[in-house]
Each structure stands twice: as structure tokens, then as C-alpha cells.
Amino acid sequence: MNTPAKPAILVARRVFPETLARLREHFDVESNDTDGVWSQDELVQRLQGKVGALTTGSERIGPELLAACPVLKVVANIAVGYNNFDVPALTAQGVLATNTPDVLTETTADFGFALVLATARRVAESEHYLRAGLWKQWALDMFAGAEVHATTLGILGMGRIGQGVARRGAHGFGMKVIYHNRSRLDAATEAACGATYVSKAELLAQADHLVLVVPYSAASHHAIGAAELAQMKPTATLVNIARGGIVDDAALAQALKNRQIAAAGLDVFEGEPSVHPELLTVPNVVLTPHIASATLKTRRAMAELAADNVIAFLTQGRALTPINPEVLGAAAA
């Protein structure tokens, strides 16, 4: 007797061998075993005949790709952010989209705080100085940075990760925490985070350290540009662990050059992995290559959750973390 063919899926980026092995128990898997990103044409070509795909923020899933891949049923992003997905187009075509919330919250909030500390206390700048052999003597004001404890922490975007950053600031560093978000948190969550809701203008004017954790969308594009930077304290630091494009990188480089704000810590960039050339020339910025969720434990959990979503959907018609759950209802109907 012939064994029925397994459904075919695509894994668009290199993932952990154990994740691939689990997927292979259920599916005929084609996978990208390199860290190179496939062009859109190559992605479309490799998706032919595939009912599912694991993607990252580098693979754009929009109407054109969907029209060219009619048998696709599920795309699972190995990321909590999903601005690479055109969700209305996915939903219109009845394709389930999933992401990886929760499993990365605390790890990413840790990194947000690492950047606050590194930026305020000039960790990278002073390390470069030391490595360059420039440290000849100690001085009282050498690399004197900004205080972190007992200052005002501002958070733009108060989802799960923003709340994690807030808890660290309020409870670990005795900071006054203020936040701005599309919608205000309920009183119990505000109390647990030790956070107070303010307007965006108040946030910009009052924060000593401003952390951006807002999802990227047309509405948040350049949410921090020249006008917003001009409203911040000249002693303030800015940290972006959300997405490139939320900050106008050219305007930020200018503000850092002019010391309009003291310093910035950036994990994400407009057009990454390219980085605005001016940012590479200013000393008062800490730059990291989109690693806020990068611990092995968390990255494994993200890959596993994406795999779980594809397995659950294609074998049982359900999903753990759907972005467009209405597709589940329609599939069951």
C-alpha cells in the first residue's frame, strides 16, 4: 500500500535542526539552510505547491505573492512583529498568519534595559576607546554618563514587552515610569508596571530615557523624527528595540551630532541590515544587529512556536497564536 504524500511546506530561513526534524515528521520540508534571504521571485518559486511556510521579518508576504501561491494555507512568522505580512490580503485569501508572542517578552525587555544602561553609561563608547589604546590615565569625569536609577523612564508602546521594560525600571531601578500607548492600560496593569499614562508630548518632554516598543505600521512610521527629537531633553537617551522606520534615522543622526539629545541605543534600523551611514560616524550611539530576542532559549522557543502553529493548523485546523483567527472560523465552516 502506498503511504499518502505528506503536505509540502517551506522553511524560508535557517532554523534549528530539532525544529526541522519535528516538521519533517509531519511534512515534506524544503528549507533554506543558509542565512541568505531569498529574493521575492525565488521565494515565490520555492513556495509553489507548498501549503505552509515558516518566515521571518525578512520575507514579505503580500497580495502579489499570495496570488502567485494559490495553495498556500498558513504562514508562521518566527517573530512577534509581523509588519512583513499584509494581514488583510492574507485574510482575504483565507491564509492563516501566526506570530510568536509571549515566548520572547522577558528576553526582549532584558535587552531593552541592556541598551538603556549601555547608552546612558556610555559602555560601547568607552570600550571602543579602551580597545583603541587611548586609555592612558583615569579622570574624574571620564565617560561620565547619565544616571539610570531614580530617573524618569518613558515608554512608547505599552504591550507585553513595554510592560516588561516598565517593571524592570519601576521595581529594579526605582524609576518613575511614564508611558504613552494607543489605548491606556487598566488600573491593575498600570499598578503592576508602576507606570503612569501621559500624552506623547508629555512623554517626550519628561523622559530621561525613552524606550520605543511600538509595533511598526503606517501610523508609527517616523513616530520619532526631527520634531519629536526637538521636544526631548538635551540630556535624554533614546532606545529603539521595536522596528526600523519608527525612528527617522537621518533625523536621529543629526540630533545626536548636534547633541540635541545625549545618546541613543538602536537594535533596529530603517532598511536593515543597512545602517544609515551617519549613525556609524557618531560616537554617542550604541548599535546592535536586531538581537533583542536573541538568547538561544528564546530563539528556540520562537522557532518551535512557529512550527507548532503550522503543525496544529495543518493537522488539526487550529493555531496557538493566530494573527487573523477569523481564518480559522472560515476554514472550519
Residues that bind ligand DGY (CB under 6 A): 57, 79-81, 104, 293
DSSP type of residue 322: B
Question: Which one of 26, 46, 167, 290 is the catalytic residue?
Answer: 290
3-state secondary structure of 117: helix
Neighbours of 59 (CB within 10 A): 22
Q: Is 290 assigned a catalytic role?
A: yes
Question: Which one of 243, 276, 299, 304 is the catalytic residue?
Answer: 243
Q: Nearest distance from residue 8's CB to ligand DGY, in Å?
A: 25
Q: Nearest distance from residue 192's CB to ligand DGY, in Å?
A: 23
Distances (CA, A) of 163 to 237, 286, 330: 19, 23, 34
Note the Cα 105 to chain centre separation in Å. 10
Instruction: Please give the single-letter amino acid code of residue 185.
Output: L
Question: Which one of 272, 278, 300, 318 is the catalytic residue?
Answer: 272
Of the candidates 193, 161, 174, the residue with the CA atom closest to the CA atom of residue 267: 161
Q: Which CB sits closer to ligand DGY, 145 or 244? A: 244
Q: Nearest distance from residue 323's CB to ligand DGY, in Å?
A: 12
Q: Which CB sits closer to ligand DGY, 99 or 151? A: 99
Q: Nearest distance from residue 226's CB to ligand DGY, in Å?
A: 25
- 175: Cβ contacts below 8 Å, ≥ 6 apart: 148, 149, 150, 151, 152, 153, 169, 209
Q: Which CB sits closer to ligand DGY, 190 or 304? A: 304
3-state secondary structure of 22: helix
Q: Which CB sits closer to ligand DGY, 9 or 80? A: 80
Q: Nearest distance from residue 63's CB to ligand DGY, in Å?
A: 22
DSSP string for 275-321: --TTTTT-SSEEE--S-TT--HHHHHHHHHHHHHHHHHHHHHS--SS
Q: Which CB sits closer to ligand DGY, 80 or 224? A: 80
Active-site amino acid positions: 243, 272, 290
